[in-house]
């Protein structure tokens, strides 16, 4: 009896609904999050820069990503990254004889310092925990700060992100790369990251993302 009472007091609150839980996210919110998952996340794996995306950027998943980024909950990113990795492993989309390097899309150092972490890197840790792919957190560097993208036109986005990335010194150019980000919208950011990597003759296999808005699909 005492043990059961203590376990209640030792539990933390779910960051999405404030229910007491011993998990990163309570079972109720986990169920709601999984309802956002695409039935065919591989459907966008085509073209010059194919995309694998876990779910729709709406509802509970949108709330979870906001809580991850703005309420400083990196554990949410790792859990969602694990789910992303589990979904990825159900499909044979690449030749796994040569494990790809995972490169999370970087934040500018000023924003990362303010936030305390890079949300894409948190997701990538969970993803790599499942897939066992090597993670290079500093494979790319963002050399200048940029404006928030949500209010910009497509052309403004391109100019905003142009020449913002540099290849990190720790990256092995002989290994193929998968880019990983939290949200895929127009693809402007990952296209620029891919351009910079390919310019250095680094093979970019595609993009792994946690969420995309329905209007992009």
Q: What is the pLDDT of residue 169?
A: 87
Query: Which of 61-70, 127-136, 167-176 shows the lowest per-residue confidence on average (mean pLDDT)?
Result: 167-176
DSSP state of 147: -
Q: Is the pLDDT of residue 5 over 70?
A: no
pLDDT grade for 91, boundaries at 50, 70 and 90: very high
Is residue 108 classed as helix, strand or coil in its secondary structure?
strand
Q: What is the pLDDT of residue 149?
A: 67
What mean pLDDT is reported for the chain? 90
Is residue 100 classed as helix, strand or coil in its secondary structure?
coil
Q: How far does Cα 213 stand from its chain's mean position?
A: 14
Ordered structural domains, the chain, with CATH:
40-57+74-216 (3.40.50)
Is residue 142 classed as helix, strand or coil in its secondary structure?
strand
Q: Is the pLDDT of residue 8 over 50?
A: no
Q: What is the pLDDT of residue 150?
A: 65
Rg over CA atoms, the chain: 18
Cα-based torsion angle of the residue sequence 167, 170, 174, 178 in order, rounded to the nearest 10 degrees? -70
């Amino acid at each position: 009896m005492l043990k059961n009472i203590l376990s209640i007091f030792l539990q933390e609150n779910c960051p999405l609904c404030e229910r007491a839980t011993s998990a990163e996210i309570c079972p109720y919110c986990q169920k709601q999050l999984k309802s956002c998952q695409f039935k065919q996340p591989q459907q966008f794996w085509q073209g010059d820069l194919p995309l694998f995306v876990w779910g729709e950027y709406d509802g509970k998943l949108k709330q979870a990503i906001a809580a991850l980024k703005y309420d400083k909950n990196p554990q949410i990113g790792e859990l969602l990254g694990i789910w992303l990795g589990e979904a990825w492993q159900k499909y044979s989309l690449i030749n796994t004889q040569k494990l790809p390097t995972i490169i999370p899309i970087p934040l500018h150092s000023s924003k990362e310092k303010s936030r305390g972490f890079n949300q894409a890197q948190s997701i990538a840790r969970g993803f790599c925990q499942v897939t066992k792919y090597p993670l290079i957190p500093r494979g790319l560097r963002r050399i200048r700060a940029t404006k928030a993208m949500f209010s910009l036109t497509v052309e403004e986005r391109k100019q905003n992100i142009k020449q913002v990335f540099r290849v990190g010194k720790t990256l092995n150019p002989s290994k193929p790369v998968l880019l990983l980000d939290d949200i895929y919208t127009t693809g402007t950011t990952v296209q620029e990251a891919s351009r910079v990597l390919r310019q250095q003759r680094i093979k970019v296999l595609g993009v792994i993302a946690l969420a995309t808005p329905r209007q992009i699909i």
